[in-house]
Structure 1
């Protein structure tokens, strides 16, 4: 079952479980569309393709909630680098 992480790993933007804009790689690294575009559609952690994250039906979120753990990348995204 997907974790449905609550934020963009680069900019920390909120990405709720019912959001249709979150993008993930096969390791579930999660990014917002703006950061994914800056990354060229590839995960900076594994190099994998970023694709739209599926949404869990609302009725299933009660028994199978999304993750509340916010994940932050080990290095800043290109648009946030100094």
Structure 2
């Protein structure tokens, strides 16, 4: 997990709101908004990065 925005170099902590693309390029929320959720490196979609310690919810599917 990268700990710095690739555009503005702001420090990102494990629980910071950050965004990543499929290649795990990492951006802060401000830069992500300015770039319209498109990675400046690969033009991939930027989505919210999972936060460390986040609870994972699963759904049971009956067979």
TM-score of the two chains, using structure 1 as the length reference: 0.61
SS in 2 for 1:23: strand
Cα distance between partner residues in 2 of 1:26 and 1:47: 10
Work out the CA distance in 1 between the residues paired with 2:43 and 2:35: 10
Distance apart, 1:40 and its partner CA = 1.2
Higher relative contact order (CA 8 A, sep 6+): 1
SS in 2 for 1:35: helix
What residue is the counterpart of 2:49 in the other structure?
Answer: 53
Q: Which has the higher helix share?
A: 1
Per-residue CA deviation, residues 25-67 of structure 1 (Å, 9 max, x unaligned), is 0100000111111111100111111000001228xxxxxxxxx
- Structure 2: 5+ residue runs without aligned partners? 55-63
Relative to its length, the structure with more strand (as a share) is 2
| TM-score, normalised by the number of residues in structure 2 | 0.78
Which stretches of structure 1, 4 residues or more, deviate above 2 A after TM superposition? Answer: none
